[in-house]
């Protein structure tokens, strides 16, 4: 009796021997694996490049306006870790009395602090000086025209609030 | 007119010519996995280009923004932590693969006549990889990477005559300043990739011109054909190697993702400054000797590595120690491992 070659496909066309079948199947598996692997990588890259939604911000309580003396400042840490210097520079009782500035020097990223006696923000790393509104007036930040970042403030029912980015909930 | 004919008219290349161009006979010994170490860094280099371009979409090379942009990539951007970690791990594996590839070439004597020039090209590729590693780490602008760069620049100033010039060129001034990061960024993301691409092209072109060094192993039957085809046999090997590397990179990036230390603080020097692991050997060597002697001896070692094919030829011609390079290589490898481990285990 003649040996009938085993065929994984219906015997419609040419019979396929085992070696050809395995070689084709592994070739398809390999191509599918490559497409799936690098395809996933490509999809992730696309997702990475697509702009994220703007960072969520929230109005958070800072201090009682009545207890915040003129000429003083406090250091505030936002939920995302940024430190903010908030200073009271007026006595009108309105929100214009206050200023909230990023404590990160735009020059090399050192910590800036408020010097009440000199009426300025000062960066000790390279003697960067900022006026009470955060504008750079001397030192490397002034040469580069980099001022301190500002945060919005508001007063509600005698309480001071700041709008800061909140930590992403992931 | 069919599409094939249309294309044929505009790109007058036939299938046979393409096959002839790509189908280099590959010696049988390349079926052994440690001979795939040359293709490994090339594959990882492509991974670095792809992930590097992705990271460059968000990275901002200025002292006031660099750290925050890396933090954004790591914490906020979708899959940013993954691409940053793959970039970091591919760099680590690439340096390891380049070193292993160079060791394989060294111990099999594949740098000998007529392949001296390709050894020189390979040495340039090693230095490019190390420079890319150094500048890449400094871009993170975390405390250790800032001080690592500062220490690196100070070391280069120990080189006689040109030291200060080198330091000023690297930092864009006498000290680390607001223009330093953009310099390091251009070196890392433009100069080194372009140079490496060109060198790899020359490296491969020379291999194609001379053929891979033929090695015969004792356990191979004499009647077996000495070569197999590049396409598809060797290409399949390379694809599998690529997939294994991708799996390894994904696993490492997921289990041990790239971390972010504290922001660089130019005012406070950390108690312990350590470079990345691949500079441990250099760092330990520099600590063992005084500044100028240390950099000069280091330069001499690098020069000797470059000149090795010619030094080896001289030794083989003038002395009876035909395999001296193997013993010198073993001593060198042990010294490199010893100095690296020494630097890794001690605090200072």
- B23-214+225-269 CATH: 1.20.810.10
* Residues of chain B where predicted confidence (pLDDT) is lower than 50: none
The contacts of residue B203 (CB under 8 Å, 6+ apart) are B118, B121, B122, B125
Backbone angles phi, psi at B75, to 5 degrees: -100, -30
- Is B322's Cβ below 8 Å from some Cβ in A? no
- Is B80's Cβ below 8 Å from some Cβ in A? yes
Q: How far apart are CA B129 and CA B131, in angstroms?
A: 6
If you measure CA to CA, which chain B residue comes closest to A102?
A: B64
What is the residue-level pLDDT of chain A in tens, covering all 170 positions?
A: 555 555 555 556 667 888 989 988 988 988 898 899 899 999 999 999 988 777 778 888 888 888 888 878 888 888 877 888 888 888 887 888 888 888 888 888 888 887 878 888 888 888 889 888 888 888 888 877 778 888 889 988 889 899 888 765 44
Domain boundaries, chain B: 23-214+225-269
User: Is B141–A107 a contact, with Cβ atoms under 8 angstroms apart?
Assistant: no
Top residue of B76, B146, B232, B245 to mutate, by most chain A CBs within 10 Å, is: B76
Helix (H) or strand (E) holding B66: helix B66-75
- Is B254's Cβ below 8 Å from some Cβ in A? no
Backbone angles phi, psi at B142, to 5 degrees: -90, 170
Point out the residue among B50, B63, B82 whose CB comes nearest to the CB of A109.
B63
If you measure CA to CA, which chain A residue comes closest to B62?
A: A108
Q: Which of A128, A127, A124, A64 is nearest to A98 (CA)?
A: A64
Kindly state the tokens that stand for B303: 């020069």
Point out the residue among B79, B178, B239 whose CB comes nearest to the CB of A140.
B178
Helix (H) or strand (E) holding A153: strand A153-156
Cα B27 → chain centroid:
25
Say how many C-beta atoms besides its own lie within 10 A of residue B322's C-beta. 10
CB pairs under 8 A between A and B: 66
Domain boundaries, chain A: 15-51, 57-165
Judge whether B79 and A47 are in contact, CB under 8 Å.
yes
Tokens 């690196």 found at: B152
Strand, helix or coil for residue B71: helix
- Position B67 scores a pLDDT of 93
Kindly state the tokens that stand for B162: 């040109």
- Is A146's Cβ below 8 Å from some Cβ in B? yes
Residue ranges with strand state E in chain B: 25-27, 227-229
Q: The domain at A57-165 falls in which architecture?
A: 3-layer Sandwich (2.102)
Kindly state the tokens that stand for B159: 């080189």
Q: How far apart are CA B292 and CA B302, in angstroms?
A: 15
- Is B43's Cβ below 8 Å from some Cβ in A? no
Smallest CA–CA distance, residue B82 to chain A, in Å, is 9
């Amino acid at each position: 009796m003649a040996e009938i070659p085993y065929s994984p496909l219906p015997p419609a066309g040419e019979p396929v021997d085992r070696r050809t079948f395995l070689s084709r199947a592994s070739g398809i598996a390999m191509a599918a694996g490559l497409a799936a692997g690098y395809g996933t990588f490509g999809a992730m890259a696309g997702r990475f490049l697509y702009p994220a939604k703007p960072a969520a911000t929230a109005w958070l309580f800072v201090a009682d306006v009545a207890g915040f003396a003129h000429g003083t400042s406090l250091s505030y840490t936002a939920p995302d870790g940024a430190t903010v210097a908030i200073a009271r520079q007026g006595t009108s009782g309105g929100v214009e009395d206050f200023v909230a500035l990023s404590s990160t020097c735009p020059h090399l990223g050192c910590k800036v602090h408020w010097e009440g006696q000199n009426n300025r923000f000062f960066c000790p790393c390279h003697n960067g000086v900022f006026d009470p509104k955060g504008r750079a007036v001397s030192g490397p930040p002034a040469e580069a025209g980099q001022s301190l970042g500002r945060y919005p403030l508001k007063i509600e029912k005698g309480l001071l609030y700041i709008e800061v980015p909140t930590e992403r909930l992931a | 007119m069919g599409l094939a004919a249309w294309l044929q008219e505009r790109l007058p290349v036939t299938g046979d010519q393409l096959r002839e161009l790509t189908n280099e006979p590959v010696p049988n010994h390349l079926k052994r996995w440690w001979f795939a170490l040359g293709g490994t860094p090339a594959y990882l280099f492509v991974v670095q280009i792809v992930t590097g371009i992705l990271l460059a979409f968000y990275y901002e090379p200025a002292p006031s923004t660099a750290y925050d942009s890396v933090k954004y990539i790591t914490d906020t951007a979708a899959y940013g932590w993954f691409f940053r970690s793959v970039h970091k791990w591919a760099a680590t594996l690439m340096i390891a693969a380049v070193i292993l590839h160079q060791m394989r070439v060294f111990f099999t004597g594949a740098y000998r006549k007529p392949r001296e020039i390709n050894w020189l090209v390979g040495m340039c590729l090693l230095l490019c990889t190390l420079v890319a590693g150094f500048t890449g780490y400094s871009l993170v602008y975390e405390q250790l990477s800032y001080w690592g760069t500062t220490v690196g620049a100070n070391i280069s100033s120990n080189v006689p005559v040109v030291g200060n010039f080198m330091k000023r060129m690297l930092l864009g001034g006498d000290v680390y300043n607001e223009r330093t990061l953009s310099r390091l960024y251009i070196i890392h993301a433009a100069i080194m990739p372009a140079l490496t691409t060109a060198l790899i092209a020359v490296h491969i072109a020379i291999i194609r011109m001379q053929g891979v060094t033929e090695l015969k192993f004792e356990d191979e039957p004499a009647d077996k054909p000495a070569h197999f085809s590049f396409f598809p046999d060797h290409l399949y090997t390379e694809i599998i190697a690529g997939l294994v590397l991708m799996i390894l990179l994904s696993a490492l990036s997921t289990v041990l993702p790239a971390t972010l230390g504290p922001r660089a603080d130019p005012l406070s020097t950390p108690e312990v400054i350590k470079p990345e692991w691949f500079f441990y050997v250099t760092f330990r060597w520099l600590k063992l000797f005084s500044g100028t002697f240390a950099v000069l001896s280091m330069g001499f070692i690098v020069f000797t590595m470059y000149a090795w094919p010619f030094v080896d030829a001289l030794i083989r011609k003038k002395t009876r120690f035909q395999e001296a390079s193997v013993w010198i290589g073993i001593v060198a490898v042990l010294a490199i491992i010893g100095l690296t481990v020494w630097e890794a285990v001690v605090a200072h």
